Structure 1
């Protein structure tokens, strides 16, 4: 998949900000599917010895998955909406490889089931076509009242 620069800014769909933002752009977004890209930089908090560690990959997957559920809270980009998301369960996770600094990873997530603000999502992350990690994650997202 070719990464374009004129894509959806993920800030409109996630509550995360630096240094915990682990996705840069949304390449594709529907009610059932999302694809994100993320460039791994040297100063990332999950980089150790020039590798993006397991916890970073899991956080990237969770943020990618959250975009599916979070989009309903951010339909109006001008709104001052604040949400918080929680991983409630990781049913299965398989790690195959770790990407390096400078790599641009692509994460894909597909909605399996949803009940209100709780969902189960299957997700995978790739680096130049190589499968790095895959998991089935349960997420909960809630709006935070000011």
Structure 2
């Protein structure tokens, strides 16, 4: 999936508590109650870049942040209301890393909700660089609103 100029892009800051240098998603390209597609451009100063590649931990964090936006949207009350949430990876059920993207690449992550109970969810995610599958993971997350 290529990002099209003028594409309807959703601000990730509305759905995730992460900020630089731990923010591993730039934009939400599509979002429903069950699915999300995000993009992330890899810059040389990224804390997870080593030898001009985004390392495995960066791919996992990108996947987790992509996944958490599905659940995080349920706490979002509107663009003018600050919503604070916190989330944790409670379990990585399965993960396969096939390749590492390079600095300058824009990766696309696609996640689908498998199940949800209160604020605990099980989500499947795949990340691509163009048509190349980089990582596939099944992640359990816990997310809650902060007072």
**Match in the other structure for 1:13:** 15
Q: Provide the alpha-carbon RMSD of the alignment.
A: 0.8
Distance 2:102 2:77 in 1: 34
Alpha-carbon separation, structure 2, partners of 1:4 and 1:78: 27
Name which of 82, 88, 91 aligns with 1:89: 91
Q: 1:48 offset after TM fit, Å?
A: 0.3
- 1:73 counterpart = 2:57: no
Unaligned runs of 5+ in 2: none
2:56 paired residue number: 54
Using structure 2 for the length normalisation, give the TM-score: 0.96
2:135 to 127, 133, 139: 133
Question: Secondary structure of the equivalent of 1:69?
Answer: helix
State which of 119, 122, 127 in structure 1 corresponds to 2:121: 119
Alignment correspondent of 1:28: 30
SS in 2 for 1:64: helix
Q: Which residue of 1 aligns with 2:47?
A: 45
Contact persistence 2:2–2:130 (CA under 8 A): no
Alignment length, in residue pairs?
A: 145
Distance 2:137 2:2 in 1: 23
- Give the equivalent residue in structure 1 for 2:145: 143
In structure 1, the gaps of 5 or more residues are: none
1:30 is displaced (CA, Å) by 0.1
Change (3 A) 1:4 1:75: farther
Deviations 1:50-107 (A, max 9, x none): 0000000000000000000000111312112111010000000000000000000000
